[in-house]
Each structure stands twice: as C-alpha cells, then as structure tokens.
Amino acid sequence: MSPALRKGVLVPMLTSALVCLGSGLLLGLATRWGLARYWWVLAKLVITLALTVLIVVALRPGMPEAVEYGEQLAAGRTPTGEVADLVFPPVVSLTALSVATVLSVYKPWGRTGWRRWRRPTTAGQ
C-alpha cells in the first residue's frame, strides 16, 4: 500500500479531531463556560483529547490492514483479516461523541470549584 493512500485515510480524521479540539479550546476560553469552570465542559475536553490521541496511537497503526481489507472487498476477493478489529474504533468514537453531545445538552454536575484568581473587591472602602 502506498504511503499516499495511508496518509489519505489518516489526515482527514486527524485534521477533524484537531479542528474539534481547537474550536473547543477557543470556545472554552472565549465564553462564560470556561475550560475548567464546569465539570461537563472539562469532561468534554477530556473526551476530545482522548479521541484525538487514539487516532494517532490506536487507529493509525491499523490503517494499512483496514485499507487492505477494503481493497480485497472492492476487488471481489474474499478478504483476509479480522472484521471485528474494524468495528471497534467507530463504536468507541460514536459512543464518546454521543456522551459529549448529551453533556452539551444536559450540562450536569455544576461547577468544579476551580476559579480564576480574582482581586479582592474594594467596595467596602
């Protein structure tokens, strides 16, 4: 399998993950929700970081086998390899992204208790 084909499979997924992570960081820093002010935001950040790392650590090494399996199917040959290995990454990703969506909608758990340092008010002076 050519390196260009391997790269063609990985680059869109990693790019999407990094854009998701970057937009989440930007929104966390620019909105009232913050990055670590609420537990649900922090949980979503951890989910996004985990999925981004999993693309590089767990998914990338298996791409040659997945491409080979797909090429064998497309050629009409009986594929060699384990189909179960190809099901696991999408199931994990879909589950994690579904949890992140539910967290965004319901916003459970309240504040973390970690706040930015604030100067004391001088209203009483």
Domain positions in the chain? 15-106
- What φ, ψ does residue 35 adopt, rounded to 5°? -90, -35
The DSSP call for residue 111 is: B
| DSSP code per residue over 10-25 | HHHHHHHHHHHHHHHH
The whole-model pTM stands at 0.75
pLDDT of the chain, 125 residues: tens digit per residue: 555 555 566 788 889 889 999 999 999 899 888 888 899 999 999 999 999 898 888 877 777 787 788 888 889 998 877 777 777 888 888 899 899 999 989 989 888 887 655 555 565 55
Token readout for 50 is: 């985990």
